[in-house]
Structure 1
Amino acid sequence: MFRANMRVYVLLLIVFSLPAISVPVMAADLSQSAAEPLVAKKPMLPTGPPLHVLIDKFVQSRHTDYARLASPVCDDAEFLRRIYLDMTGRIPTISQTRDFLSDQRSDKRSVLIDQLLNSPESARFISQRLDVMLMQRMKKKYIDVSTWEEYLRKSVAENKPLDQLVREILSADGSDKEHQAEARFYLARSGEVNELTRDISRIFLGADLTCAQCHDHPEVADWKQDHYYGISAFLIRSFVFTDKKKKQTVFAEKAEGEVKFESVFEVRDKTSKGPETTLPAVFDGKKISEPAFKKGEEYKIKPAKDVRPIPKYSRRAQLGDAITRENRRFARTMANRLWAMLLGRGIVHPLDEDNSDNPPSHPELLEALTAQLMSHDYDLRWYLREIALSETYQRSSANDLFQDKTAKDLSDAHFTHALLKPLNPEQYAWAVMEATGLAEVHRNSLKKKLSEATLRKNLLGYERQFVSLFGGVPGEPVKDFEATADQILYLSNDQRIQVILPARPGNLADRLMKIPADQADQLAEEMYLSVLTRHPLQAETEEVTALLAGKKGQDRAVIVTDLIWALLMSSEFRFNH
């Protein structure tokens, strides 16, 4: 009866768990219009306050009543869970939790941030976030997914500058065996020019230009049809080519070909002067001219049957520099995307709607983030560290002023409290494996062979199962959390979940069953610290004590297993608070 009632109750919690609410960004003046050409002149290294101090200054100054409305800085338990999930993709082990909560050092949060950011787990998880941003969980096509994932992981582990990483990806054609992985961005999209134009502008420039393909954007005055085709012009000559002899597929390029476009509105109204063309350009930046060659001298290797052509001049080779070096929009977009990764929403939100009709919630803050990301040479690790050090990131998700009308009407864009973020599939998988003790069982079994890579290899099947269920539609941007029937049934009944709950040497249930029956308060503490990374409330301890009272043997084991399952299924576990 307990199991049935508890699981019905938890299912109701899952079904009615609310995702982070998306609200309109409050109006604000742009310090620099997103539509203007933003020439990337690298600023001097800042000599003023560190970035995390500036973050708090600009966030707090944006609302006159911020001090009263803001949630306090979160307690150690909330911070610990949040920083582990955001930096490593898992919750801490119980020993890591106990050590941190008992640590009395005043700088223990900054020490932990540095420790996690420099860990192999962080390199893996941050690279997964970049992978989802760049590839949207696309399936394998031409390039093995694992080689691409390893390229990203190694790049993050080396702390490769973010702009360099993007240039490598946008310049890759897959012909060099040592750099085939980078070409996945193009090849997984089959080299389709319109799809690439859309994704490049959306991912790297914060602008979804899809509706500017056939005419100037009907809703965003900043975005013109020639902006779309300026980016398309870099790619119009490129195509997927398979070398049958080498059994290798690359992103090849011709020496000729121009974009041609005209507005469908002008065609309809019979005012069109005929198709236009444009040289490659990134928004209103400089149009990139190209050298002229005599007829017949345009190629290093001329086109022929089953022969990959190689032009003397490559338009596509100019794209990486044009995106990252000649347009400040790139830095602004990356600063905003990485901010959203940790804070749960962008300063410009949605992330691909950066235009003067959708101004940033905090213009001065976004300008500071952009300038400092550039001046620190796109240092990803440094940038994430500065955000994590800020009070803005470390605020509690609780708001004691909820009954206050002003607080209820307060937009998430004010960043007065930590937004509830649903765990992404990788986080969810590893949180479950860590909470149940499955990860610890495998750590113990690996002994001297234990490493981040060997542990992940052992548990990759569990991770992939969660990704297949919670990862959304491959090739589409990630949407807000919404529990589906398949997900609920998997979590409730699937044997791959049920089998890791009962006691086995070294897991959570095993540890709980070894606690004497008359020490239910210790059992409650061990369970809550392991699953929710916090001490239980008095009422929770009393409830656990009452449920276990008088239970022995198999009856006690069943209740312990169901208690673990109930915490795993709770909305508190499903969201990052």
Structure 2
Amino acid sequence: MFRTNMRVNVLLLVMFLGNALAEQPLLAESSKISDGPIVAAKPERKSVKPLHKIIDEQIQARYKDDSQYVSALSGDSEFLRRVYLDLTGRIPSITQTREFLEDRRSDKRKILVNQLLESPEYARYISQQLDVMLMRRLKKKYINVNTWEEFLRKSVAENKPLDQIVREIFAADGSNKETQAAARFYLARNGDVNELTRDIGEIFLGADLTCAQCHDHPDVNDWKQDHYYGLSAFLIRSFVFTDKKKKQTVFAEKAEGEVKFESVFEVRDKTSKGPETTLPVVFNGTAISEPAFKKGEEYQVKPAKDVRPIPKYSRRAQLGIAITSPQNRRFARTMSNRLWAMIMGRGLVHPLNADHSDNPPSHPELLDSLTDQMIAHQFDLKWYLRELVLSETYQRSSVNDAFNQKDAKELDESQFTHAIMKPLTPEQFAWAVLQATGFTDIYRKSLKEKLTEETLRKKLVGYEKRFVSLFGGLPGKPVKEFEVTADQILYLSNDGAIQGFVTPRTGNTADRVLKVPADQSEKVAEELYLSVLNRYPDQVETEEVITLLQGKAGTKRSQTVSDVIWALVMSSEFRFNH
């Protein structure tokens, strides 16, 4: 499937590109992570039956009668590329690709997974995915985005439990310098109670409560108006406050204030008994009562002009505790489902913000098992992701010709009989392009002993930001489905940076390929495909490269090599994680 499409891309794209790259200027020098072996992982926790085995048993139980439609396990090159993208956000280097493909150890996939999970790139990339989930690419407001990103990166690097990260975010108000970054969740939304209520419902509880603000949800019987206002009650007393003397903006709180609501339908039909109110409560959990204070004794710091009030009792401080409470199983279920979708390409509950009885999970028993295990393992993010990628379900090939002949109503992507093709995230796309073209190799070499994940990223983060700006969607509304815009096409076709990536330059892929003797065209094809697509070319693809290298009279070999690299990077095989 992929290779047929890709062959068309190589021939047609090279013809389209023509001589466009021939006279493009080289990019200015700027930057190292070693592309060699990574340190061994810590020993994994023992259990009666590993979660990845439970996953496979419960997925496979569904398609025993349709086993002929199940894809075989992916080959080594397919798995290698997929797991690098999913755990580190980039494709492997040619050195890492050759080493893995030539490795004959039976447990090499497990070894690789453990290595990737201990890499600094894992912490960076997974924290970026959490950032998109939590912030939806919202622009900077009050809190420095870099400090927020570092808070998430450090949390992932330390393998801080996911529920702890959430509690820290909900507890932060921005007043404490050590925890200030976490307040971005509130402050980037300008402290808007309705926006925060909706986002908390969607992100952490799997419920889009937007239509439950004015009345019980008209389409989802499970979601009631008091669910919306039960969450809102945690935040109703909070507001954005700027301390002019300290030049600091925080999410302050008053000691009084109640939510009031009534159904617009009841108002219309004149059946309303008047506005209702509710204590803070997460869905159908226990409402949180609060201590009573004598009038005038409600505050540690009383409200005054240009003074931030501090109540003796904080409703908002209860939010993180209530959301992540063992009594609120919905949080663990939603996080389990979101992480499953991130790795597998689709949620067991899909869409992710539609977890209700009229939209049951594709595999209810499995989602229950994932939730149980998430709680039992204390929201261990690294352990959970390891179990997902070690499953046969994750490691199945995306190629399934038999599937295409099956009635989609009977067998669709929700059955997880094959790997689901996922468009590269903007971050993945950026770092995949940089690696495929050898641009990162140039900077790895230039940094020498100063090479770390952090120093390399600082050199190249500008390119990542450019990809995010073009492929990341509008702030607050990141792209959910694959789509191509005119700006993206123009950037990939004509931008000087992209053209500079594929133009021969000391240490990049084009330069390395051109060092292969001209009479070893098969070796050239191998080098190109291993560098860009992380696999060996088949016979037809090799012959195509040979034909292109022979080319027209007067066509420079360097130009042809650049054109082929560009065409491979533009192919559907490259643009998707499959």
TM-score calculated relative to the size of structure 1: 0.92
SS in 2 for 1:65: helix
Q: Does the alignment pair 1:221 with 2:194?
A: no
Distance, in Å, in 2 between the alignment partners of 1:391 and 1:134 is 29
Count of residue correspondences: 543
Q: What one-letter code is carried by the residue in structure 1 that aligns with 2:565?
A: I
Q: What one-letter code is carried by the residue in structure 2 that aligns with 1:209?
A: L
RMSD: 1.8
SS in 2 for 1:367: helix
1:471 aligns with: 472
1:423 aligns with: 424
1:458 aligns with: 459
Distance, in Å, in 1 between the alignment partners of 2:66 and 2:109 is 24
1:438 aligns with: 439
Q: Does the alignment pair 1:271 with 2:278?
A: no
Distance, in Å, in 2 between the alignment partners of 1:535 and 1:4 is 18
Over 3 Å counting, the alpha-carbon distance change for 1:78 and 1:4 in structure 2 is closer
2:569 aligns with: 568
Q: Per-residue deviation at 1:546?
A: 1.1
Spell out, residue by residue over 1:158-198, the C-alpha distance to the aligned partner (whole angstroms, 9 max, x if none): 00000000000011101101110000000000000000000
SS in 2 for 1:239: strand
1:89 aligns with: 89
Over 3 Å counting, the alpha-carbon distance change for 1:280 and 1:344 in structure 2 is same
2:255 aligns with: 255
1:501 aligns with: 502
1:130 aligns with: 130
Q: What one-letter code is carried by the residue in structure 2 that aligns with 1:154?
A: K
1:351 aligns with: 352
Q: Per-residue deviation at 1:558?
A: 1.1
1:517 aligns with: 518
CA contact (8 A) 1:66 1:416 kept: no
CA contact (8 A) 2:10 2:571 kept: no
Over 3 Å counting, the alpha-carbon distance change for 1:395 and 1:422 in structure 2 is same
CA contact (8 A) 1:93 1:434 kept: yes
Over 3 Å counting, the alpha-carbon distance change for 1:430 and 1:236 in structure 2 is same
Spell out, residue by residue over 1:519-572, the C-alpha distance to the aligned partner (whole angstroms, 9 max, x if none): 110000000000001100100000111111267886111111110000000011
Q: What one-letter code is carried by the residue in structure 1 that aligns with 2:495?
A: D
Distance, in Å, in 2 between the alignment partners of 1:149 and 1:256 is 34
Distance, in Å, in 1 between the alignment partners of 2:74 and 2:10 is 33
Q: Per-residue deviation at 1:407?
A: 7.0
Distance, in Å, in 2 between the alignment partners of 1:460 and 1:554 is 35
Structure 1's unaligned 5+ residue stretches are 12-44
CA contact (8 A) 1:46 1:372 kept: no
CA contact (8 A) 1:72 1:396 kept: yes
Q: What one-letter code is carried by the residue in structure 2 that aligns with 1:347?
A: L
1:333 aligns with: 334
CA contact (8 A) 1:216 1:263 kept: yes
Q: What one-letter code is carried by the residue in structure 1 that aligns with 2:308?
A: R
Distance, in Å, in 2 between the alignment partners of 1:503 and 1:554 is 15
2:31 aligns with: none
CA contact (8 A) 2:521 2:545 kept: yes
Q: How does 1:395-434 map to 2 (within 5 A)?
A: 395-402=396-403, 404-406=405-407, 410-434=411-435
2:206 aligns with: 206
Q: Per-residue deviation at 1:405?
A: 3.1
Over 3 Å counting, the alpha-carbon distance change for 1:71 and 1:59 in structure 2 is same
CA contact (8 A) 2:92 2:534 kept: yes
CA contact (8 A) 1:60 1:66 kept: no
Q: Does the alignment pair 1:180 with 2:180?
A: yes
Distance, in Å, in 1 between the alignment partners of 2:314 and 2:461 is 40
Q: Per-residue deviation at 1:478?
A: 3.5
Over 3 Å counting, the alpha-carbon distance change for 1:462 and 1:234 in structure 2 is same
Distance, in Å, in 1 between the alignment partners of 2:177 and 2:479 is 31
Distance, in Å, in 2 between the alignment partners of 1:169 and 1:380 is 17
SS in 2 for 1:249: strand
SS in 2 for 1:500: helix
Q: What one-letter code is carried by the residue in structure 2 that aligns with 1:265?
A: F
**Percent of counterpart pairs with the same letter?**
71
Over 3 Å counting, the alpha-carbon distance change for 1:410 and 1:185 in structure 2 is same
Q: Per-residue deviation at 1:67?
A: 2.4
Distance, in Å, in 2 between the alignment partners of 1:215 and 1:430 is 46
Over 3 Å counting, the alpha-carbon distance change for 1:479 and 1:561 in structure 2 is same
Q: What one-letter code is carried by the residue in structure 1 that aligns with 2:524?
A: L
